Amino acid sequence: MGKFLMQEQLGQAAIVTYRNPPQNVWTLEAVDELSAAVTALGARRDIRALVLTGAGDTHFSGGSDGAALIAGGRGYAERWVDAWGRALEALERYPGVTVAALNGTALGVGLACALACDYLVAERELVLAMPDARLGLVPLAGTSKRLVDKVGLAWAKRILLGGEELDAELACRIGLVEELVDPGFAKIVGLSLASKVAHQGAQAVAATRELLRGAGEATLAQQGQREREVFLRLATGEEAREGLAAAEAGRAPAWFLDED
């Protein structure tokens, strides 16, 4: 357990809970702790998925520590941007599946952190917004691209330029979040989604994440070539042999049997 992040393991999934009351705003120290925690979890073979959530019922995250940004000057701002770059890169490079279980509010860098995860599960009372421009700032660490990739340019403009606040139902309708749940259930449903990765081959999941990461910019021919190279690399490996043999025998593969 860190100063800001609490960790627990259920099966092959880790639940990482951010706690910085009352609003779970992010500090520079907390961002560094997130990078270290995600990197360490990614190196563990007994952890295949990660669920990120906020402590309490009212805030996944209320955003950033504005007072520190005001007081810290240019040097602090540089450390802040670099720290978030490392943290969001760690989430994107995590070899398993990442789920953001969103409750209460997800504002600014809180929403930016969620956007770096594979799935977003939202409780129905959730409010999402990126008020960066209202604060005289812009998104950081690739967040504007992640948002455009998620909801398209028109909605990204409304969220970033107009500072529009979204309720959970609208966020789901435009594709910003994948699933709506009742209050108090985001972590439970997020864990259920994350745990499905235990049914898949670890190397196949990591390789597929790499393929998906570049799919948006690749042509069909380029993506097909990438898939060919990865398929041939995996096809003769131990994991593929086990998966294929299990399917032929009508049994579960070894990694599924090891789920508990």
> Is the whole model's pTM more than 0.95, yes or no?
no
pLDDT at site 259: 47
The confidence band for 6, taking pLDDT boundaries of 50, 70 and 90, is very high
* Whole-number pLDDT of residue 260: 43
Q: Is 194 helix (H, G, I), strand (E, B) or coil?
A: helix
* Averaged pLDDT for residues 130-141: 84
- Integer CA distances (angstroms), 140 to 27, 35, 151, 189, 207, in order: 15, 16, 17, 29, 27
Q: Which two tokens stand for residue 226?
A: 């990438």
Give me the mean pLDDT over the 51-69 stretch. 85
Domain boundaries, the chain: 5-198, 200-257
So what's the pLDDT on residue 1? 63
128 in the Ramachandran plot: left (φ > 0), alpha (ψ -120 to 50) or beta?
beta
Q: What is the mean pLDDT of residues 66-87?
A: 87
**What is the CATH topology of the domain spanning 200-257?**
Lyase 2-enoyl-coa Hydratase; Chain  A, domain 2 (1.10.12)
CATH of domain 5-198: 3.90.226.10
Q: What is the mean pLDDT of the chain?
A: 88
Angle at 132 between CA 118 and CA 63, to 5 degrees: 60
